[in-house]
């Protein structure tokens, strides 16, 4: 394991640049970096251990049928779970609760889908999805609470206790 010192240059995810960049260590908590300063934009933030926020984006449309309200609702849960980009093992991520709100009838064409997990706590995560139609209108918003196979999280609480 590497020993860190103040001023060392390390890679980390910059919350302002929105990508992994070179950072200088500006404060330590014991042997580990606590705060870092981006060498590109010079913003200070907590050390994230090179981990980008769990965000996924994609595009969706039907093959031959026009995009309708049912497909717009489906698009609210069309992407893989956002926590998969945290380096965990892809696997079953059961939905515990899902709410989807239809905001408008979608315009013909592609739907832009953006998904973000703001809270990841152990095997639990929440996910917010926004679906925007070809005209730039939000046509669906979805939010779900789910379980995900994250490294070191142990068995799912849904799996029950073994005797």
The answer to whether residues 25 and 84 belong to one domain is no
Q: What is the pLDDT of residue 101?
A: 96
Q: What is the pLDDT of residue 17?
A: 80
How many domains does the chain divide into?
Answer: 2
Q: Is residue 163 part of a domain?
A: no
Q: Is residue 92 part of a domain?
A: yes
The answer to whether residues 78 and 130 belong to one domain is yes
Q: Which residues are CB-neighbours of 45 under 8 A, at least 6 positions away?
A: 14, 15, 16, 35, 36, 38
Q: What is the pLDDT of residue 142?
A: 96
| 10-residue stretch averages of pLDDT, the chain, 163 residues long | 84 81 89 90 84 81 92 94 72 88 95 89 87 96 84 50 42
- The CATH number of the domain holding residue 73 is 3.10.129.10
The answer to whether residues 70 and 124 belong to one domain is yes
Determine the straight-line distance between the first and last CA of the chain, rounded to whole angstroms: 37
Q: What is the pLDDT of residue 86?
A: 67
| Structural domain span for residue 34 | 9-46
- In the DSSP assignment, the letter for residue 41 is T
H, E, C per residue of 102-116: ECCCCCCCCEEEEEE
Q: What is the pLDDT of residue 155?
A: 52
The answer to whether residues 59 and 113 belong to one domain is yes
The answer to whether residues 61 and 32 belong to one domain is no
Q: What is the pLDDT of residue 118?
A: 79
Read off the pLDDT of residues 32-56 as tens digits, 9 standing for 90 and up: 899 999 988 998 988 877 666 678 8
The answer to whether residues 71 and 25 belong to one domain is no
The answer to whether residues 100 and 22 belong to one domain is no
What is d(CA 85, CA 138) in angstroms, rounded to the nearest whole number? Answer: 25
Q: Which residues are CB-neighbours of 118 under 8 A, at least 6 positions away?
A: 126, 128
Q: What is the pLDDT of residue 153?
A: 47
The answer to whether residues 39 and 61 belong to one domain is no
């Amino acid at each position: 394991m590497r020993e860190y010192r103040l001023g060392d240059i390390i890679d980390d995810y910059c919350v302002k640049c929105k990508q992994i960049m070179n950072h200088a260590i500006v404060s330590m908590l014991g042997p580990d970096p606590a705060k870092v300063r981006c060498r590109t934009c010079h913003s200070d933030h907590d050390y994230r251990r090179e981990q980008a926020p769990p965000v996924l984006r994609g595009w969706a449309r039907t093959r031959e049928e026009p995009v309708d309200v049912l497909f717009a609702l489906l698009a609210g849960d069309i992407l893989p779970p956002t926590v998969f980009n945290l380096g965990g093992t892809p696997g079953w991520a059961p939905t515990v609760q899902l709410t989807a709100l239809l905001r408008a009838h979608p315009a013909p064409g592609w739907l832009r889908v953006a998904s973000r997990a703001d809270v990841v706590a152990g095997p639990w995560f929440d996910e917010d999805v926004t679906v925007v139609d070809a005209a730039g209108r939000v046509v669906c918003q979805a939010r779900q609470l789910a379980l995900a196979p994250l490294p070191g999280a142990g068995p799912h609480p849904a799996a029950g206790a073994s005797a």
